[in-house]
Structure 1
Amino acid sequence: MTSGSVATQHLRDLARLRRVKDRIDREYAQPLDVEALARGAHMSAGHLSREFRQAYGESPYAYLMTRRIERAMALLRRGDLSVTEVCFAVGCSSLGTFSTRFTELVGVPPSVYRREHARATVGMPSCVAKQVTRPVRNREAPATEPSLA
């Protein structure tokens, strides 16, 4: 392969990865798995996972869960749905897995988040609320505030 064809192939792969990312953003509440995402991108599951991680810093599954938790945070702040209802509304099929992943990313369990953050973004433009409430990515949320010492 020439360097031009390698660059062209790389751009095609990036376009496929972007379509996968866009699909996750759109269909986060649907049952999605890496196999189905890979089929839709005409890639093997392993290749998709490796390339997605290289391009976006996390696996497709981790990205999907981050999107789900982000949406769950918004639903919990509204306060009109129970934690279980939110879990299923964002596409999670296990309350235990949802609660564990939520706690890892946000730092508190969903029930605590719902109670303490209800109405926290009232009056805030949605684009700002999304940015300031975004879950931590690629690492767990700190359990306690770091000391300044």
Structure 2
Amino acid sequence: MTRRIRPAPPSARVIVHLRRARDLMDARFAEPLDLDAMAAAAGFSRYHFAREFRVAFGETPGAYLSRRRVERAKDLLSSVNLTVTEVCMLVGFTSLSSFIRRFTELVGCTPSVYRRTVIHNGGRPPVPGCFLMAWGRPAIPDKSGSAPAS
């Protein structure tokens, strides 16, 4: 009988570096983050980072990032009147099929079914998508170079 040897948990010093990368993923989940950018935030090589992240947090960096994106998508689907495709792109997925597949894997139903269930159960009234898009749009500087007053 072969016994698997579990890797030792990362030291507190390593955890501090891994948290920097996790904070980056939490803050910039909608941007196209790759393993190199996450590893650079932690100050590790990409392979060492992926290995240590999995040991420390129990999932790969990619799985963590996609889970954060799905969490944000659930919030948008239950509160904003945007299409599933728009939500998919807003949270950082580049493929609708991979978004639906990961969403279903984590939530247990498709995004459309999730939205219908939330509405059926008396969820919040959806905010029109145009408000969300206008609110999230950065201020455009005027010709003098300063941003308009809000």
- In structure 1, distance between residues paired with 2:101 and 2:122: 24
Following the alignment from structure 1 to structure 2, what is the Cα–Cα distance between the partners of residues 84 and 113?
Answer: 14
* 1:61-111: CA deviation from partner (whole Å, max 9, x where unpaired): 100001000000000011411100100010111001000000000010111
Corresponding residue of 1:110 = 111
Instruction: Return the offset for 1:119.
Output: 7.5
Matches within 5 A, 1:60-99: 60-99=61-100
Distance between the aligned counterparts of 1:29 and 1:120, measured in 2?
28
Identity %: 50
CA distance, structure 1, for counterparts of residue 52 and residue 62 of structure 2: 13
The residue that corresponds to 1:29 in the other structure is 30
Query: Cα gap change, 1:46/1:116 in structure 2, threshold over 3 Å: closer, same or farther?
Result: same
Residues paired across the two proteins, number = 115
Structure 2: unaligned runs, 5 residues or longer: 1-9, 125-150
Task: Tell me if structure 1 keeps the 8 A contact 2:20–2:41.
Answer: no
Cα pair distance change 1:49/1:10, threshold 3 Å? same
Alignment partner, residue 144 of structure 2: none
2:49 aligns to what?
Answer: 48
Task: Return closer, same or farther for 1:79/1:40 CA change in 2, 3 Å cut-off.
Answer: closer
Partner letter of residue 67 of structure 2? Answer: T
SS class of match (1:118): helix
CA-atom RMSD in angstroms: 1.8
TM-score by length of 2: 0.71
1 CA distance for matches of 2:120 and 2:110? Answer: 17
What is the CA-CA distance between 1:49 and the residue it aligns to? 0.8
Amino acid in the other structure paired with 1:56: F
Q: CA deviation at 1:12?
A: 2.1
User: Does the 8 Å CA contact 1:77/1:119 hold for their aligned counterparts?
Assistant: no
Pair 1:100 & 2:96 matched? no
Change beyond 3 A, Cα 1:48–1:80 = same
Which runs of 5 or more structure 1 residues have no equivalent in the other structure? 1-8, 124-149
The structure carrying a bigger helix percent of its residues is 1
Higher CA-based Rg: 2
Q: Is the 8 A contact 1:78 1:119 kept in 2?
A: no
Q: Is the 8 A contact 2:24 2:41 kept in 1?
A: no
Residues 24-51 of structure 1 deviation map (CA, whole Å, 9 limit, x = unaligned): 1111001111111112222111111111
Conserved 8 A contact 1:76-1:118: no
